[in-house]
Homo-oligomer: A and B are copies of this chain.
């Protein structure tokens, strides 16, 4: 029986999860692939650190040692940062290896180039683990896309932000307290910028956009906002309206153009994200035949992410990623997305509003819910003392008579 030789770059949470899963699921892998899967080498940074790695695995801090191995079939990359992993993966492809990555920042920047290079070299690229951990989002979108035309994607893609928002609401904590809690639980880094400022979700959104729409918007045109402006006061006021803050990435087509936003929005209890809590991730895909489908599950963590990588490993070995058809590039205009009027949750309005902005509800002091087209709201949103958040979906909870009785304050 021949053997599949794997190198793992990085031995943090994800790298170690992959290593341990290849061992614990050796029998399953052998059954599915008809070959034994063996970890031949692991790239680490600190040679001194004690690790629980079998003696026959080459453990090195020099990537060139790995490239020189007599047999190497698959390179799994689970490092932080973007330039050196990119270089390692380029070299791996050129050596004829399939590559699998969990690194969203690197892949958002260099994914298209790596995929092209892989195609030229007849190898495959697996990246299921870059988005939503163990939830098979990429696989599902590819599957749907065989015949469906995707209109819109929404996702809770950053577990850390979702955990913080959940803690703030449930335990009435401040942002700082909830962040500390996330750090103590190992859900947030010492420097949490990447998560709480929305960069992590942004990279994932760009990767999803490429999969679902065959393209991505100009990065500069994407509104990216983290959750640092969300206060306990805002969360409580929203709750009295039956609304919850969620950090949501959304991609859709407006007037023939691909638009993406990554920012805090409000959802009511009819929205599938209302009850996605803690470190969970979720993705909602709207497509023309099937309608809306939601996937929910663990977005990060040692084993969920390892699971996504091992699934990719099986796919690349069966050489199936390569022959999944590219998206047709066809993007469809969903008319319902172009409805001008939207609902907004607004804090800090002190003046009389013009009649284009309908006040739907102002029963909570200091806050109101407006119905308005975005273009009519921009001057208000730009005021320093005003905060505006879009509300996704219908807001059934607000009775239509309220609208008549308080309209135009």
Contacts and interface: CB of A to CB of B under 8 A. Distances in A.
Contact of A293 (B134, B275, B287, B314): B134
A135 interface: yes
Interface stretch (A101-109, A157-165, A294-302, A346-354): A294-302
Interface residues of A, number: 48
A134 B291 contact: yes
Nearest to A272: B296
A295 B295 contact: yes
Interface string A118-143: 00000000000000001110011001
Interface in A282-336: 287, 289-298, 301, 303-304, 306-308, 310-311, 314-315, 325, 328, 330
A398 interface: no
Interface stretch (A21-29, A67-75, A230-238, A361-369): A21-29
Interface in A252-276: 269-270, 272, 274-275
Given A28-B147, A28-B149, A310-B147, A135 B328 contact: no
A291 B159 CA distance: 15
A164 B218 CA distance: 46
A31 interface: yes
Contact of A146 (B32, B293, B328): B32
B134 A290 contact: yes
B330 A28 contact: yes
Contacts of A287: 307
Contacts of A143: 136, 139, 311
A31 B325 contact: yes
Contacts of A135: 293
Contacts of A296: 272, 293-296
Given A32-B325, A293-B295, 15 more contacts: A21-B147, A28-B147, A28-B149, A28-B330, A31-B328, A32-B328, A139-B140, A146-B314, A147-B314, A272-B296, A289-B306, A290-B307, A293-B296, A294-B295, A296-B296
6 contacts: A25-B289, A31-B328, A146-B310, A147-B310, A294-B296, A295-B295
Interface of A: 21, 25, 27-29, 31-32, 134-136, 139-140, 143-144, 146-149, 269-270, 272, 274-275, 277, 287, 289-298, 301, 303-304, 306-308, 310-311, 314-315, 325, 328, 330
